Amino acid sequence: HTNEKPFSCIFCRKSFSTKSNVATHIRTHTNEKPFRCTICRKSFSQKSHLAAHIRTHTNEKPFPCIRCKKSFCKNSDLEKHIRSHKNEKSFTCIICLKSFSQKSILVTHIHTHTNEKPFTCAICRKSFSQNSNLVRHIRTHTHEKPYTCILCRKSFSQKSHLAIHIHTHTNE
């Protein structure tokens, strides 16, 4: 471990210790996304991102919390969740002083004070305070159903609907 970084990005000159790391980094400049989901055709720049995405279709959650047994599709989501157990809330609203464990949750919360809805549907012009709500809404226009049951191949427009459906197979 010499901290040597002999591989440089041809675009920004950032250095890397391995050839594969620089190749992955270069995709941030070229927007190349060679890894495609066979279920919904969405593409990704990294194989690990595709693997995490596929779990959104299968509802596989291989990262369990050892404190409460809740499971997550991505390790990064588990890490965020663990902060909620530690009660780490370093992001504070300057309007009401309520604190949050994640900056993104604070940003969404601030919209409740401002009534700001910065995410607008290009089809019907309805606006939303969160991008995730807009994405879900757009599926009402496109009829896209990206969440597919691996047991019977039935598809759903919302992840929560797939989760409910899966219980019909497990009788829970």
DSSP 97-117: --EESSHHHHHHHHHHHH---
- Type of residue numbered 28: T
Check whether 27 has a pLDDT greater than 80.
yes
pLDDT tens per residue, range 60-76: 999 999 999 899 988 98
**Over residues 124-139, mean pLDDT:** 91
Check whether 80 has a pLDDT greater than 90.
no
Give the C-alpha separation, 38 to 16, whole Å: 31
Going by DSSP bridges, is the β-strand pair 63-64/71-72 parallel, antiparallel, or unpaired? antiparallel
Give the C-alpha separation, 34 to 45, whole Å: 6
pLDDT tens per residue, range 1-15: 678 999 999 999 999
The answer to whether residues 149 and 167 touch, using CB atoms and an 8 Å cutoff, is no
Give phi and psi for 19, each to the nearest 5: -65, -40
Is pTM, for the whole model, over 0.85? no
Please report the pLDDT score of residue 41 as a whole number. 86
Check whether 115 has a pLDDT greater than 80.
yes
